[in-house]
A and B are shown apart, each in its own frame.
Chain A
Amino acid sequence: MKILSIKNIIAASILAFSIIYSLPTFFSDVPDWLTSINAKKMNLGLDLKGGVHFLMEVDLDEVTSSKSKKLSSDLRSQLRKEKLRYRNFNYQSKSISIEFFDAVNYKKAEELINNTYQNTFEISRNNDNQMMLSISEKTLNELRIAAIKQNTTTLRNRVNELGVAEPIVQQSGKTRIVVELPGIKDTTRAKEIIGATATLEFKMLDEDSDPYAAEDLNENSFNSKLYYYEETPVLLKRNIMLTGENIVDASSGFDQNNRPKVDITLDNPGAKRFSEVTDENIGKQMAVIFVESKAEQRVIDGESKRISKKYEKIISIATIQERLSKSFQITGLDSSDEARKLALYLRAGSMAAPMYIVEERTVGPSLGADNIEKGKISVIIGLILVLVFMLYYYRVFGLFANSALIINILIIVSIMSLIPGATLTLPGIAGIVLTVGMAVDANVLIFERIKEEVRNGSTPLASIELGYKKAFSTILDANITTLIASIILFIFGTGPIKGFAVTLSIGIISSMFTAIILTRILADTVYENNTNLKVTKLNI
């Protein structure tokens, strides 16, 4: 056997690779050239470095129902604008039925809908004049995807304002978002900031109707809705002039009277529309409403369900003095703290849908350090026990197996530090510990086979050859089935469990290389190249 065979060269490269790439994890001071080849420390999970993990559920039903409500009111006003006459317009959760005056109006409306709302609705004709519209599944799906995307972006913006190093905000499944904030201490504030859905709405006062009369009737009219401002009833027009969606920047501060204020900057379409409506309404009163959605749990039919409830509070009513455009300020906030928070929410963008926390895992920094220490100790002691046992039981071959075992750990560490997003968790360390115990199995299988061959009277070299050959299919079958279990664990597991599955899978695959190929090279080098000595006995 040649020292410079292809097998040896490949094995040596893997060895060199695993040593180089696991260096940064074991030593904190590493030369610059290691960083330049992308060798870095293993990422630690939150359970090891401390921090908080949130799983947020996005209420997508709320999005689809509020969006379909909006579509229905848009459609209604468009029909009116185009003077298409109908007898009856009925909106009911995600579907609309319209009874037109006659077939001519029906035809025109159908054209209008097909032109302006391409593929948004599915239209069916009940009879000559009655049209049934339902929002297409495709549209609803697009809405859901857009909503969760927007929430993720907004959350990311808000989290960035928290000033946490390396936060993670990413979508998980169809309706959830994972937020991970390493090293954060004040989880109360974090919850408040990521959970809030506050935004602003601007509406005109309905100055033609009497709010007290509306209060007595306790009934909202077609055009306006009853609100309270500083305990007096006011009627606001239903039409929303501007929402937080058009706000691109906001900052808090104090106005000349030392009252808290928020300076607002609008995007171009928002600025254009806002300057038009304020121009039309100079001298009239406009209200700024603080809108917040909160999830509430209720028991409905014996099942607990979450309902998003909208809280609206008028923060100021002011007479429009002049045409407003891109930048303006609002006042009327309770405190500078409220102004600061509102500015943050507006700046980060609005949430497309209400969200609530469905899972939280917080690990304090002391526990994280504690876990690292415990993990280290159990790996080291477990490893030493196995190394001592193998050396005692298999002598020279034990040495081969031990080298393979240590290299196996180096390979796991180097691969873990290279895979982007792979993190080492406490269960992950347990996975390494378990791999240590199980990785020697392949060697035990081979060595026991070699012993058997020796007992059966084969020559030492033939015993090695046969031992490796006969044990191979067993090792392969055993490892593939274990790999199946750990891959399933990776697919279905969450968080720390995934970490366990990752180290276990990497460990199984790399143990096949170290236990079969590496130990064989070592055995061959020791016994086969030893031409001076005639090998008569294996030290096993």
Chain B
Amino acid sequence: MKNININFNFMKWHKKAVYLSSLLIFISLISIFTKGLNYGVDFNGGTLIEISFENNAPIDDIRKYLKDNSYEKSSVQYFGSGTDILIRMPNIISSAEATLSNTLLAELNREFSFSLKRVEYVGAQVGEELRDQGILAALIALALIMVYIALRFEYRFSIGAILALLHDILLIIGIFSITQIEFNLSVFAAILAVIGYSLNDTIVVFDRIRENFKSAIAENINTESLTNQSINQTLSRTLITSLTTLLVLISLIIFGGEILFGFAFALITGVIIGTYSSIYIASSTLLMMNISVKDVVIEVNEDSP
């Protein structure tokens, strides 16, 4: 069987990669702060109703009906196909907030013939909590991972890994902000999964760097070429794993339906960005922090007496 056995000078470009990533992060941040995210009801609160018609959905009639019956603030759009539509309503301040969907559905039932697919109602307070909890969860996960890597490797490795993760998260959120694809709870779950995935990649590379540093203790080989060698040695694995993961994700985005679209999309972008970041960002950080063979070997000696 053929082997992927290239010796590519990745680290030659590590500075250029840092510039590119900085630029992309900058663009993401601008979009996040100006355009913001298209939060779904999960995080923003509100009511969402999906209904399905036998034939093409009479979307214009429904828009008109909603406008004429004091539901001006609601928005209507097709969902997945021409037979399904999605109605979104912001939270209104009244006691009837939670029963708004029932009232509207009862009214629409008199005018149109359709079947109900789903209703999601999230109160304003719950939406805010979900958002806060999400941010907290991501921060705790990052902190614990950082501690774990610092214990298993060395503190500079954990800084490299965390920077790579932050890079991935910011770029994914940036892409969601630029494309305005709905950001909901499952997209958030996907981002945490990307944290796990991208970290996987980073650790595989780090592990190899550590191993090569250890065996290079006697020789005076420069750090950059050792790092480069490590990346090349793990490259075939990195590419194959990314490929198998992408294969299933493509299956998920094509066959998983509209509800899982955002989830699968976040993971696909995450896998691609994560593969890039574990090669460039994580390792570049190590080089920039002047990690040397000595650092790792002393660490290991302390670890295993």
Name A residues whose Cβ lies closer than 8 Å to a Cβ of B: 55, 57, 187-188, 191, 195, 294-299, 304, 356-364, 366-367, 370-371, 374-375, 377-378, 381-383, 385-386, 389-390, 393-395, 426-427, 430, 433-434, 436-438, 440-441, 444-445, 448, 451-452, 455, 470, 473-474, 477-486, 488-489, 491-494, 496-497, 500-501, 504, 540
**B118 neighbours in A (Cβ, 8 Å):** 361-364, 367
Asked whether, in the complex, the Cβ of B119 is within 8 Å of the Cβ of A360, the reply is yes
Name B residues whose Cβ lies closer than 8 Å to a Cβ of A: 1, 3, 5, 50, 52, 93-95, 97-99, 101-102, 106, 115-126, 130, 133-134, 136-137, 140-141, 144-145, 148-149, 152, 185-186, 188-189, 192-193, 195-197, 199-200, 203-204, 207-208, 211, 233-234, 236-237, 240-241, 243-252, 254-257, 259-260, 263-264, 267
**A296 neighbours in B (Cβ, 8 Å):** 94-95
Q: A366-B115, A434-B248, A438-B197 are in contact. Are A485 and B141 (CB under 8 A)?
A: yes
**A393 neighbours in B (Cβ, 8 Å):** 1, 240
Cα A493 to Cα B245 in complex, Å, equals 24
Asked whether, in the complex, the Cβ of A500 is within 8 Å of the Cβ of B257, the reply is no
Name the residue of chain B whose CB is nearest to the CB of A377. Answer: B255
Name the residue of chain B whose CB is nearest to the CB of A470. Answer: B211
Asked whether, in the complex, the Cβ of B248 is within 8 Å of the Cβ of A437, the reply is yes
Asked whether, in the complex, the Cβ of A364 is within 8 Å of the Cβ of B116, the reply is yes
Cα A367 to Cα B118 in complex, Å, equals 7
Chosen A-B contacts, 30 in total, with CB atoms closer than 8 Å, are A57-B123, A188-B106, A298-B93, A304-B93, A357-B123, A362-B119, A370-B257, A377-B255, A378-B256, A382-B249, A430-B252, A441-B241, A441-B245, A444-B241, A470-B211, A474-B204, A477-B207, A478-B200, A481-B149, A482-B197, A482-B199, A484-B144, A484-B148, A485-B193, A486-B193, A489-B189, A493-B185, A494-B130, A497-B186, A497-B188
**A483 neighbours in B (Cβ, 8 Å):** 196
Asked whether, in the complex, the Cβ of A489 is within 8 Å of the Cβ of B192, the reply is yes
One of B133, B152, B240, B259 near A426 (C-beta < 8 A): B259
Name the residue of chain B whose CB is nearest to the CB of A436. Answer: B248
Asked whether, in the complex, the Cβ of B248 is within 8 Å of the Cβ of A488, the reply is no
Asked whether, in the complex, the Cβ of B95 is within 8 Å of the Cβ of A481, the reply is no
Name the residue of chain A whose CB is nearest to the CB of B236. Answer: A448
Q: A382-B247, A481-B203 are in contact. Are A297 and B259 (CB under 8 A)?
A: no
Cα A304 to Cα B45 in complex, Å, equals 13
The 7 closest A-B pairs by CB, nearest first: A382-B248, A482-B196, A437-B245, A492-B137, A382-B251, A357-B98, A358-B123
Main secondary structure of the interface of B (DSSP, over half): helix
How far apart are B262's CB and chain A's nearest CB, in angstroms?
11
Asked whether, in the complex, the Cβ of B189 is within 8 Å of the Cβ of A390, the reply is no
How far apart are A22's CB and chain B's nearest CB, in angstroms?
20
Asked whether, in the complex, the Cβ of B207 is within 8 Å of the Cβ of A297, the reply is no
**A445 neighbours in B (Cβ, 8 Å):** 204, 237
Asked whether, in the complex, the Cβ of B255 is within 8 Å of the Cβ of A434, the reply is no
If A362-B119, A382-B248 are given as contacts, then 10 extra A-B residue pairs at C-beta distance below 8 Å, sorted by A number, are A187-B119, A188-B102, A297-B93, A364-B117, A382-B251, A393-B1, A433-B251, A477-B203, A482-B199, A488-B141
Q: A381-B251, A433-B248, A445-B237 are in contact. Are A297 and B97 (CB under 8 A)?
A: yes
